[in-house]
Amino acid sequence: MATLTDKKRAKTQSIGRPAAELIFGDLWAFDPAPETADPKLKARYDLFIGGKFVAPAAGKYFDSINPANETKLAEIAHAGVADVDAAFVAAQKAFVTWGKMPGKERAKHIYRIARLLQDRAREFAVAETMDGGKPIKESRDFDVPMAAAHFFYHAGWADKLDYVAPGRKVAPLGVVGQVIPWNFPLLMMAWKLAPALAMGNCVVIKPAETTSITALKLGEILQDAGLPAGVVNIVSGFGDTGAAVMNHPIAAKVAFTGSTEVGKIIMRSLAGTEKKMTMELGGKAANIIFDDAPLDQAVEGIVNGIFFNQGHVCCAGSRLLVQESVADQVLAKLKQRIKVLRVGDPLDKNTDLGAINSKEQLGTIQRLVAAGVKEGATLFQPECKLPAKGYYFRPTVFSDVAMSHRIAREEIFGPVLSVLTFRTLEEAVEKANNTAYGLSAGVWTDKGSRILKMSTELKAGVVWANTYNKFDPTSPFGGYKESGFGREGGRQGLLDYCKLI
């Protein structure tokens, strides 16, 4: 009979042994599997103000570029101050009726939006992939369905607002100014619009300049849903347009999702005003692997945590903290796993990593990766052929990373993972919390008590247990510290769009 010592020795030897690897070479190549649905793109997209598509007052347009092949997709209207003024005036006028409309009537409009989005799901998925560079399987299976789910969920709340704050009555704020980022254009729009509309607010929203197409296409759905004119107004443009939205005197509240740097600028500009604010900013999340974790499952969670949407995720698990006793084993399994990730055409259904969103973002990733190499971290990238045109970057893993390295401190917003080790739970907590951010974290362990302890010790708005990047409209999402404040989703998210009376 094997003794306990024999079992420990066998376990130690198995950990030290190289992980088994299947090598097929080029014998199992994938045939191309292109998505063929028609995205129904227009050559030019105007602003959506007062229920109609209107040309910008100054007549300015800019190009929206497909990051996968650097071709022009469409011309997008550039809203100026006069256009933003017109949008807020339209929203203020619409609020007189929309804010007083019975919740069950508002719910009908929001339900229609959700259903129409479902009806045109494949069209929107293709448009989202072409405009942003993310793989079609992510747009198709996550972005669009989750956007519809947010409209469905908040439509259900619209006639139940007496239960949002038990013991208190709620009322809408008025007109809300919103700015959304380029990493999840349609989904972020749903996150922002759905709770605001359910609560009875009207909205002026600005999409990111590199990914405006699906936002403006949603204007078509708003028309088809019969949403009263002016309830939602969409103004596209650059930073000047966003600043005009955030600083407009009619806005009773502003909501921003984007970088911490821009969030700080907005907060400084609004200091001393009576505007309510919610900010969902950057992150540098820790994905923590304990020695009793299901390692194969954890590796899949690591891959999903950092390579989903090319790492263009504010809550990406960009810091991997692994307990020392299994660090070599996890790293070996991780390297094998990313060797088979497919990088390439986002419209191919076999693609795992699509294109980086823009040339500028690709440059940022390249600079930070170069800094990691210069500071002494060990770089690993799988061998894979990248397309000749477009903005692409290989999945990247850095080992031998120290907390002082830039790649461990700064948000890269790309497919780059920094691996650090720890010995004790206390050290894991200390390293995970040693960041200016506090948006999310992941914990992988077999012990429920350890999960509960970590969830109270980690300074993060969301803590996932034995999974990563799981979202639901019923669950609030948001951060602490320089990751922002306020919540989106769930009852808590609705509370940020109302006043208590």
> Cα angle at 484 between 256 and 397, to 5 degrees?
100
- Residues near 149 by beta carbon (within 8 Å), at least 6 away in sequence: 114, 472, 473
* Structure tokens belonging to residue 335: 């390297």
| 471 domain-assigned | no
> 204 and 261: one domain?
yes
> 405 and 433: one domain?
yes
Residue among 314, 315, 411, 498 flagged as catalytic: 314
| 171 domain-assigned | yes
> 274 and 287: one domain?
no
| 431 domain-assigned | yes
> 250 and 300: one domain?
no
Separation of alpha carbons 180 and 87, rounded Å: 17
How crowded is residue 229: how many other Cβ atoms within 10 Å of its Cβ?
16
3-state secondary structure 119-152: HCHHHHHHHHHHHHCCCHHHHHHHHHHHHHHHHH
Give the DSSP letter of residue 336. Answer: H
Separation of alpha carbons 339 and 185, rounded Å: 29
Kind plus residue range of the DSSP H or E element containing 325: helix 324-339
Give the DSSP letter of residue 212. Answer: -
Give the domain CATH number at 248: 3.40.605.10
Which residues pair with residue 379 across a beta bridge? 398
Residue pLDDT tens, the chain, 501 long: 444 444 444 444 444 455 566 666 666 778 899 999 999 999 999 999 999 999 999 999 999 999 999 999 999 999 999 999 999 999 999 999 999 999 999 999 999 999 999 999 999 999 999 999 999 999 999 999 999 999 999 999 999 999 999 999 999 999 999 999 999 999 999 999 999 999 999 999 999 999 999 999 999 999 999 999 999 999 999 999 999 999 999 999 999 999 999 999 999 999 999 999 999 999 999 999 999 999 999 999 999 999 999 999 999 999 999 999 999 999 999 999 999 999 999 999 999 999 999 999 999 999 999 999 999 999 999 998 999 999 999 999 999 999 999 999 999 999 999 999 999 999 999 999 999 999 999 999 999 999 999 999 999 999 999 999 999 999 999 999 999 999 999 999 999 999 999
Do residues 302 and 270 make contact, with C-beta atoms less than 8 angstroms apart?
no
Has 314 been annotated as catalytic? Answer: yes
Separation of alpha carbons 233 and 210, rounded Å: 19
- CA nearest to 64, candidates 183, 175, 211, 164: 211
Separation of alpha carbons 9 and 93, rounded Å: 75
Identity at 185, one-letter amino acid code:
P
Give the domain CATH number at 424: 3.40.309.10
- CA nearest to 409, candidates 266, 260, 284, 305: 284
Residue 251's domain comprises 44-281+480-500
| 343 domain-assigned | yes
What's the number of CA atoms in the CB half-sphere (13 Å) around residue 361? 26
**Positions of E strands within 101-211:** 170-172, 175-179, 202-206
> 314 and 249: one domain?
no
| 14 domain-assigned | no
Identity at 38, one-letter amino acid code:
D
Q: How far is CA 93 from CA 89, 90, 166, in A?
A: 6, 5, 31
Separation of alpha carbons 59 and 253, rounded Å: 29
Separation of alpha carbons 395 and 406, rounded Å: 18
Q: What is the pTM of this model?
A: 0.93
* Structure tokens belonging to residue 252: 């009773």
Residue among 35, 280, 457, 488 flagged as catalytic: 280
| Tally of domains in the chain | 2
| 58 domain-assigned | yes
Has 75 been annotated as catalytic? Answer: no
> 407 and 349: one domain?
yes
> 289 and 181: one domain?
no
Identity at 39, one-letter amino acid code:
P
User: What pLDDT is attached to residue 5?
Assistant: 45
- Residues near 269 by beta carbon (within 8 Å), at least 6 away in sequence: 243, 246, 247
Separation of alpha carbons 365 and 361, rounded Å: 6
> 134 and 268: one domain?
yes
> 245 and 321: one domain?
no
User: What pLDDT is attached to residue 29?
Assistant: 76
Across the beta sheet with 44-45, the strand order is 44-45, 71-77, 61-66
| 455 domain-assigned | yes
> 96 and 193: one domain?
yes
| 1 domain-assigned | no
Do residues 444 and 422 make contact, with C-beta atoms less than 8 angstroms apart?
no
> 311 and 268: one domain?
no
Give the DSSP letter of residue 357. Answer: S
User: What pLDDT is attached to residue 28?
Assistant: 73
- CA nearest to 254, candidates 228, 280, 282: 280
Kind plus residue range of the DSSP H or E element containing 220: helix 213-224
Q: Torsion over CA of 144, 340, 332 and 320, rounded to 10 degrees?
A: -20
> 140 and 267: one domain?
yes
End-to-end CA distance of the chain: 73
